[in-house]
Amino acid sequence: MPALAPHAPTRKNGDVTAGEPPSLAGLLQQVGQGDEAAFTQLYDATAARVHGLVCRVVVDRAMSEEVTQEVFLEVWRTSPRFSPDRGSALSWLFTIAHRRAVDRVRSVNAARHRDATYVSTQSEPAYDSTSEQVTGSLQAVSVRAAIAQLSPVQREAVELAYFEGISHAEVAQRLGIPLGTAKSRIRDGLLALRAAFGGEA
């Protein structure tokens, strides 16, 4: 995931979706059909605003970037559920982003509280606190675990394209493979991630 500059969502008369490009709903529907190119366009069009919203909740920059990655992985696997009749595409994205960010803050705060309680009471072994902290971050771990289950060529291509933020042509050049092969590996990797999370292909 590229390092994104914090950028607050556009507001107009209190509407967080003001200024939304009219093509976002169409892109989301294409993503729901497994269209990897549409996912790239959707990411390019919304990543800065999604990351900006996450940064307003999650102060830590590294953690906010990790949460933003999780948001777009969730978008990829749950996009078939999006319906333009229920609201705008940007509102749908912001809902996912806000929920993920709040969940992460709550998890971190709960872990800190448990650690502070342990230090003050010394009533429980240290490994209990560590175990609970890991459990609180289970969603983040599950995302990384799903990526780890990809084939080596799929994982390499997906990480370059979406976590390093380079173009498909640059992925092909970096890996020394034809552009079509790079696109196929990225698409297959994303479809495998959706399947790993129980999403529809």
CATH code of residue 84 = 1.10.1740.10
Taking the CA atoms of residue 84, residue 87, residue 90 and residue 96 in that order, the dihedral angle to the nearest 10 degrees is: -110
Clarify whether residues 131 and 172 are in a common domain. Answer: no
Q: Which residue has the higher pLDDT, 16 or 167?
A: 167
Q: pLDDT confidence of 187, banded at 50, 70, 90? A: confident
Do 153 and 70 share a structural domain? no
Residue 36 burial (C-beta neighbours within 10 Å; 0-12, 13-18, 19+): buried
- Residue 140, domain member (yes or no): no
* Residue pair 143/70 in contact by the 8 Å Cβ criterion: yes
Which of residues 135, 160, 175 is at a domain's end? 135
Q: Domain check: are 107 and 201 in the same one?
A: no
28 occurs within a structural domain: yes
Domain range enclosing 187: 149-201
Kindly report the length of the chain: 201
Do residue 118 and residue 186 come from a single domain? no
Listed in sequence order, the DSSP H helices in the chain are 24-32, 36-57, 61-78, 89-121, 126-136, 138-148, 152-158, 168-175, 179-196
pLDDT tens figures, 59-110:
888 888 999 999 999 999 999 999 888 889 999 999 999 999 998 888 877 6
Average pLDDT over residues 20-33: 81
Would the pLDDT of 117 be above 50? yes
Domain total in the chain: 2
* Among 135, 166, 184, residue at a domain's last position: 135
* Average pLDDT value over all residues in the chain: 75
Q: For residue 153, what are the CA distances in angstroms to 64, 122, 133, 172, 192?
A: 27, 47, 32, 12, 12
Within a domain: residue 144?
Answer: no
CATH at residue 188: 1.10.10.10
- What's the DSSP call for residue 199? -
Closest CA to 64 of 72, 76, 56, 74: 56
Q: In a 10 Å sphere around its CB, with 0-12 CB exposed, 13-18 middle and 19+ buried, how is residue 123 labelled?
A: exposed
Whole-angstrom CA distances from 189 to 2, 34, 73, 141 are: 19, 11, 12, 18
Percentage of the chain beyond pLDDT 70 is 68
| Boundary (domain end) residue, out of 109, 135, 161 | 135
- Kindly state whether residue 200 falls inside one of the protein's structural domains: yes
131 and 164 share one domain: no
21 plus 73 within the same structural domain:
yes
